[in-house]
Structure formats: C-alpha cells, structure tokens
C-alpha cells in the first residue's frame, strides 16, 4: 500500500533496475510518507470493491493506522531481510515481532512476518519468521521464484531451487502465501500443493517487469493438484493498479492466450480466485469471500446499469460481465464486516478531498 505514492517512478525498467530504484526510495521513506501512501492505496482498493488485502513492507504501523481510518481489513506483513540487505533501522525480525505485539488482537488488522525472499533472507531468519508466525497463530507471506535469475542464483548458492530448499530447511508448509511463483517445475508444483502453501498469482506485475515464462504462474497445474491460488496486484510501482476487477480480466485473457485455449480459467473460476480462493489463502474459509450465515458481512453492491457492466439481462450474464468488462465505476456500495465504507461510489469514513490532496502533494517526491 505504501508504494502507491511511487506510482510511475519506475516504469519500463528491467527487474534489476527496478529494484535499484525502489531501494533508493526505500532508504528515504518516513512513517508519515508510508501512511499517506497507504491512505491513497486503500482508498483505491475500497472504491474498486476490495474489502481485505495482504501486504508486505516495513513501517507497517502507518499502514495499520490507514486501515483503521478507512475501515478495510488488512493482513499486514512486516518485511524481514538479513540486516546487511535492508534499509530498516534495527533488526528486521525483531521489528516484525514488535509490530505483531503492538497490533495483535485487532478486529480488522492481522500483523504477520514477511520474509522478502531467498535472495536476501538466510536460513536462520526464514525459520525465525516461521517460529514467530506459529507462536502468534498467523500467516507467513513471502516472494518465491519470481525471476529466473532468483532461481538460478539460489541453485548456484545452495544446489537447490527455492521451494526445494525451503522444504529442506523445514520451512515450507500451510498458513503461508507465496507471491509470484512464476518459475516452478512440476515437482515444485506438487510440493507446494502437498504442503498446503498458497500462491498469490501476480500476472500484471510479472508481465510488466518481464519476469519471463510469460509472466504467468502455472495456475492450471497448481489447481489440478488441489493447490490454493489467489490473485495479487503486487505493488503500485510494479503493476500501477490495485484493481481486482482489472486483474481478473487480465488474468483470464493472459492464460487463455498463453494456453491457446479460450476455455482456460473461465469467468466463474476467475471470480473464485479473487474471492473464495483468496479466503482460503488467508486461512479464512467460511469467513471471507462468501455470503453465508457466520461470514464477516463483507459485501460489494454493483450498479447493474453502469455502462461497463450493463446489460445484465439474465443471472447467467452477471458473472462474465463482472469479470470481463466491469470497472470500478460500477461499484456502488461496499461493506467491511457490516460497516458501510463506500456509499454511492464515495468513501464514507474519510473526506475524499484529503485523499486527493495526498495524490497531488505526495510527501515523497
């Protein structure tokens, strides 16, 4: 969320150039700047119908406060890196634990540890993150096999590909969400599925940064093995949009094209990936992503007369129109846990002029 303020600062760069530029910005950021970016990003998500999100960064107290103000549900991972690789002050693993202590038990905020990736986290910190999550009963969130360079570099260093190595050291398991997961071989697909590790598929980011492999995680293969696959927008700096509506459309088109199969990932499956499968990944089956007794009363009402969604002349047309053509303008009302946070396409808990002011006058230039 915090990177919403940096939208457009690192476009059309290769992955290494992108990281170099973002690390330079990371070193300059303040908690005030992070909170301002989170307000802007959360506003974008709510107006697009997103009620819950999973995030990874540092300075997450600012993101948590923004969640409180706008009323969204946040699963907030504090980024853990080895000290020599980070711009954080202090020891990242200890920072993560302190953040989790500050926000544990909150109604809508779930703090959790988030190891960045195998290229900047050693075995001790991976296992430390897992122990921290187990002790607090939370998820672990991390990046996995995003680029071929990451995979080949880890093989050169350890003799093993990232998922195999994480399994060998006793890390891999359920209650984990591995973002990206583009470069997976069949045995790794089997391994993630068997261990119950969820994948957050981020095609807009992976394709924009030309991560290779078509920029696509092996979604069909994972689902065939009963793996858990949800959808992720990734950062505003790498995909430029936090819209799940846009992401459903893009995911469907990309996989149909790549597999030469118009029946690949049909509309109903794409909607499930954005809702039910996202809930499975977050460990919230029956609570999120569904409308049923006992669920958390997250509801999104769409205007069926909006030009991007109409005409809906039968129930059968509603889901395909929602997935393939609807945009954020069709979102009318949003409830999070029964609390109305968007009404008639407007945020209800903050003055939108404040959001616009942040967008026009970002703290970090």
What class, spelled out in words, does domain 299-360 have in CATH?
mainly beta
| Beta-carbon contacts of residue 347 (< 8 Å; ≥ 6 apart) | 43, 46, 47, 70, 341, 355
Query: Taking a C-beta distance cutoff of 8 angstroms, is the pair 18, 250 a contact?
Result: no
How much is the pLDDT for 17? 82
H helical segments located in the chain: 15-26, 31-47, 60-70, 92-103, 123-136, 148-158, 162-168, 186-195, 203-208, 219-224, 244-259, 267-274, 276-281, 315-324, 352-360
Q: Is the pLDDT of residue 365 over 60?
A: no
Give the mean pLDDT of 153-169: 98
d(CA 287, CA 306): 29
Domain with CATH 3.20.20.140 in the chain: 2-281
pLDDT digits (tens, 9 = 90+) for 229-283: 999 999 878 778 999 999 999 999 999 999 999 999 999 999 999 999 999 999 9
CATH architecture designation of domain 2-281: Alpha-Beta Barrel (3.20)
Q: What is the pLDDT of residues 28-66, one digit of tens each?
A: 778 888 898 899 999 999 999 999 999 999 999 999 999
How many helices (H) and strands (E) in the chain? 15, 11
Banded model confidence at residue 12, pLDDT cuts 50, 70, 90: confident
Task: Tell me where in the chain the CATH 2.30.40.10 domain(s) lie.
Answer: 299-360
In this structure, the number of other CB atoms found within 10 A of the CB of residue 345 comes to 15
Q: Is the pLDDT of residue 11 over 80?
A: no
Write down the pLDDT at residue 364.
61
Point out the least confidently predicted range of 231-240, 279-288, 339-348: 231-240
Cα–Cα distance for residue pair 206/184, rounded to 1 Å: 14
Neighbours of 67 (CB within 10 A): 26
**pTM for the full model?**
0.94
Q: What is the pLDDT of residue 43?
A: 95
pLDDT at residue 1, rounded to an integer? 65
Mean pLDDT for the chain? 93
Opening angle at CA 32, ends 27 and 36, nearest 5? 105
Which three-class secondary structure state does DSSP give residue 238? coil
């Amino acid at each position: 969320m915090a990177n919403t303020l940096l939208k457009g600062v690192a476009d059309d760069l290769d992955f290494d150039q992108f990281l170099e530029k973002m690390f330079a910005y990371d070193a300059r950021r303040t908690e005030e700047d992070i909170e301002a970016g989170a307000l802007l990003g959360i506003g974008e998500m709510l107006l697009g119908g997103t009620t819950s999100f999973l995030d990874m960064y540092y300075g997450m107290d600012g993101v948590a406060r923004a969640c409180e103000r706008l009323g969204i549900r946040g699963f907030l991972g504090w980024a853990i890196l080895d000290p020599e690789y980070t711009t954080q002050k202090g020891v990242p693993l200890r920072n993560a634990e302190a953040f989790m202590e500050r926000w544990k038990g909150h109604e809508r905020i779930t703090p959790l540890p988030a190891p960045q990736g195998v290229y900047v986290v050693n075995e001790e910190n991976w296992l430390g993150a897992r122990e921290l999550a187990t002790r607090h009963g939370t998820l672990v969130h991390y990046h996995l096999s995003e680029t071929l360079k990451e995979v080949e570099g880890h093989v050169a260093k350890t003799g093993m590909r990232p998922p195999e190595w994480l399994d060998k050291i006793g890390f891999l398991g359920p209650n984990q969400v591995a973002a990206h997961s583009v470069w997976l071989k069949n045995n790794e697909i089997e391994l993630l599925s068997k261990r119950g590790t969820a994948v957050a598929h981020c095609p807009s980011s992976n394709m924009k940064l030309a991560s290779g492999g078509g920029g696509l995680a092996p979604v069909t293969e994972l689902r065939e093995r009963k793996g858990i696959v949800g959808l992720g927008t990734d950062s505003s700096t790498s995909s430029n949009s936090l819209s799940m509506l846009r992401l459903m459309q893009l995911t469907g088109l990309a996989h149909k094209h790549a597999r030469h199969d118009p029946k690949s990932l049909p509309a109903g499956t794409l909607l499930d990936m954005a809702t039910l499968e996202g809930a499975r990944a977050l460990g919230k089956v029956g609570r999120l992503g569904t409308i049923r007794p006992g669920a958390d009363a997250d509801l999104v009402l769409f205007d069926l007369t909006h030009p991007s969604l109409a005409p809906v002349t039968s129930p059968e047309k509603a889901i395909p129109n929602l997935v393939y053509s609807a945009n954020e303008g069709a979102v009318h009302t949003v409830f999070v846990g029964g609390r109305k946070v968007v009404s008639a396409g407007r945020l209800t808990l903050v003055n939108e002029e404040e959001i616009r002011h942040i967008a026009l006058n970002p703290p970090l230039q």
